């Protein structure tokens, strides 16, 4: 395969070519950078491309390989990083004007880990401001487009990473998932995206949105790449008090295990009202494929799942209200240049200028839910419902190994289509939120198309049982073959 097509390969395919000497990391990186140059004006997935640094890292990977010192299967593989992961010496904006000129003095733990694995960092990808959104239209700087249809959104908030993987602008990427922000854009962009169990991957250096929900995870072209990247970023980190001190299994070894006899629960509440007919049909066909593979599929109920949206939009904004209080124009980030009367006026003008409308809305909503007289009525009640949702999942897992649903109720919608309908915008994460509220691992894999746009199948597993999730996802993927499809963009 020529260098011009290297950007379209998976990471494990590139690894095989690197190992055989058929190509070099520099050639692969150059191929991806040419691809970025060609399609980025249409896609706008990147906030920052660090081409010179990437080529230098690629040459270092090639030198290691020539010396017989290859670090591992991702050594020399180009990766994109969501722009809310701190990167030492490089801007980390969270796609917000309030952090437009912020350059962290340290790397996030996951950034350190992919660097130690030899990955070639291409740059930082666009997102909804502070990860608050489902379409990447809330970025303060640009709107990312879906490679499958440039009039469509790529999903959010990790839309930049999802679009970059789908368009061949990187081989793998990192995103973050607070209510579906990896899985939903993975579904919209026809790629694989995984939210690990809460605590499986360190959040140190991830700019916080909702600390009890946020989780970093891989976005890749297939499940094997997902397992490889998850392997690299997983593991305990003393810098993160919520990081689980638990052994990390060999995720790639799990892929080859037979799924015959596994039990999948099809979530009744996520297969009916609100789910597009074409999406439901694609998921039903995927269920048939799983049954052909020997997986027993049966309907299960998560009765409190219907309250996920309301519960999420009390808990997440409440935590955001607290987390975003640090952006005050004093310690770092934007400070208003206008004349101010006092420090309160400075705070108000700074935050008014620096935060976009969606972020301001969520801060106000969260502050209201935490305020005196409303704390018990809203926030505490939401925490109780969160416990009920978690118990529903635990009960379902008494009889099932995984839970199955659509990843999103619809395929990618048009840019601007839901700008004036905030409820419909938030409904895009209807199927994914329960996984965050319960802290469970979940993956989205391509399972078909509707009007030429990808549909995603969501597979959710028990806490810290990413092995089973990946095994079922891999078996389905290999049988269905949708992961081989690529969008035509840029000629």
DSSP string, 147-215: TTBTTB---SSSHHHHHHHHTTS-SEEEEE-SSSTTHHHHHHHTSEEEEPPTTTB--TTBPPS-TTT--
Q: Given 25, 95, 157, 202, which residue is catalytic?
A: 157
Q: What are phi and psi of 22, to 5 degrees?
A: -70, -30
Query: Is 165 within 8 Å of 221 (Cβ atoms)?
Result: yes
H-helix or E-strand spanning residue 395: helix 381-396
Beta bridge partners of 404: 266, 459
408 assigned to active site? no
Radius of gyration of the chain (CA): 21
Instruction: Please give the C-alpha separations between residue 104 and each of 15, 219, 409, in angstroms, as whole numbers.
Output: 31, 24, 37
CB 148 within 8 A of CB 194: no
CB atoms within 10 A of CB 422: 11
Q: Which domains does the chain have, with CATH numbers?
A: 3-247+256-265+283-300+398-484 (3.90.1300.10)
171's CB contacts (< 8 A; 6+ apart) are 7, 9, 10, 11, 14, 28, 32, 77, 78, 79, 165, 220, 221, 225
Catalytic position from the list 82, 124, 195, 349: 82
The pLDDT of residue 351 is 96
Question: What is the distance between the terminal CA atoms of the chain, rounded to a whole angstrom?
Answer: 18
Q: How is residue 391 written in tokens?
A: 């118990």
Q: Report the C-alpha gap between 347 and 345 in whole angstroms.
A: 5
Nearest CA among 217, 183, 135, 138 for reference residue 408: 183
What's the pTM?
0.97
Question: Helix, strand, coil: what percent of the chain each, to 5?
Answer: 45, 15, 40
Give the 3-state secondary structure of residue 277.
Answer: helix
* Nearest alpha-carbon partner for 86 in 57, 118, 114, 110: 110
Q: How far apart are CA 471 and CA 10, in angstroms?
A: 18
| Model pLDDT, residue 343 | 93
**pLDDT recorded at residue 173:** 99
Residues in the chain: 491
Catalytic residue list contains 24: no
> Is the separation of the CB atoms in 164 and 158 below 8 Å?
no
C-alpha–C-alpha distance, residues 32 and 37, integer Å: 9
Instruction: Tell me the pLDDT of the chain (491 aa) as tens digits.
Output: 344 489 999 999 999 999 999 999 999 999 999 999 999 999 999 999 999 999 999 999 999 999 999 999 999 999 999 999 999 999 999 999 999 999 999 999 999 999 999 999 999 999 999 999 999 999 999 999 999 999 999 999 999 999 999 999 999 999 999 999 999 999 999 999 999 999 999 999 999 999 999 999 999 999 999 999 999 999 999 999 999 999 999 999 999 999 999 999 999 999 999 999 999 999 999 999 999 999 999 999 999 999 999 999 999 999 999 999 999 999 889 999 999 999 999 999 999 999 999 999 999 999 999 999 999 999 999 999 999 999 999 999 999 999 999 999 999 999 999 999 989 999 999 999 999 999 999 999 999 999 999 999 999 999 999 999 999 999 999 999 999 999 998 65
Q: 469: which strand partners? A: none
List 181, 187, 308, 405, catalytic entry:
181
Q: Which residues pair with 195 in a beta bridge?
A: 442
Per DSSP, the three-state class of 294 is coil
| SS3 state at 48 | strand
157 is catalytic: yes
């Amino acid at each position: 395969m020529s260098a011009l097509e290297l950007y379209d390969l998976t990471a494990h395919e590139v690894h095989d070519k690197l190992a055989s000497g058929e190509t070099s990391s520099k050639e692969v990186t150059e191929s991806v950078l040419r691809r970025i140059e060609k399609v980025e004006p249409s896609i706008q997935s990147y906030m920052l491309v660090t081409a010179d640094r990437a080529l230098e890292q690629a040459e270092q990977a090639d030198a290691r390989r020539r010396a017989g010192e290859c670090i591992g299967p991702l050594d020399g593989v180009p990766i994109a990083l969501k722009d809310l992961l701190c990167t030492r010496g490089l801007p980390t904006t969270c796609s917000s004007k309030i952090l437009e000129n912020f350059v962290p003095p340290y790397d996030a733990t996951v950034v350190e880990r992919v660097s130690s694995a030899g990955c070639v960092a291409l740059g930082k990808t666009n997102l909804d401001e502070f990860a608050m959104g489902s379409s990447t239209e809330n970025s303060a700087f640009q709107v990312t487009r879906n490679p499958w249809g440039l009039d469509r959104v790529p999903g959010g908030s990790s839309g930049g990473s999802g679009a970059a993987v789908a368009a061949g602008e990187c081989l793998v990427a990192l995103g973050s998932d607070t209510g579906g922000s990896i899985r939903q854009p993975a579904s919209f962009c026809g790629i694989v995206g995984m939210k690990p169990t809460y605590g499986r991957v360190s959040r140190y250096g991830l700019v916080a949105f909702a600390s009890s929900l946020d989780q970093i995870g891989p976005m890749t072209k297939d499940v094997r790449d997902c397992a490889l990247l998850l392997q690299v970023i997983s593991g305990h980190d003393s810098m993160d008090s919520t990081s689980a001190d638990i052994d990390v299994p060999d995720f790639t070894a799990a892929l080859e295990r037979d799924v015959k006899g596994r039990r999948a629960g099809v979530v009744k509440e996520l297969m009916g009202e609100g789910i597009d007919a074409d999406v439901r049909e694609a998921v039903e066909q995927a269920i048939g494929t799983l049954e052909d593979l020997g997986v027993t599929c049966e309907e299960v109920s998560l009765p409190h799942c219907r309250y996920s949206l309301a519960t999420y939009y009390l808990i997440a904004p409440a935590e955001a209200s607290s987390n975003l209080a640090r952006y005050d124009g004093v310690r770092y980030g934007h400070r208003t240049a206008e004349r101010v009367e006092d420090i309160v006026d400075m705070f108000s003008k700074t935050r008014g200028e620096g935060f976009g409308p969606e972020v301001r809305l969520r801060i106000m909503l969260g502050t209201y839910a935490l305020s005196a007289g409303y704390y018990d009525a809203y926030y505490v009640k939401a925490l109780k419902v969160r416990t009920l949702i978690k118990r529903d999942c635990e009960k379902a897992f008494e009889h099932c190994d995984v839970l199955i649903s659509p990843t999103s109720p619809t395929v990618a919608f048009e840019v601007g289509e839901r700008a004036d309908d905030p409820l419909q915008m938030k409904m895009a994460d209807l199927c994914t939120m329960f996984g965050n509220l319960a802290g469970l691992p979940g993956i989205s894999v391509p399972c078909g198309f509707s009007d030429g746009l990808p549909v995603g199948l969501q597979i959710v597993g028990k806490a810290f049982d990413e092995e089973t999730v990946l095994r079922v996802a891999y078996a389905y993927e290999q049988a269905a073959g949708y992961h081989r499809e690529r969008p035509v963009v840029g000629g």
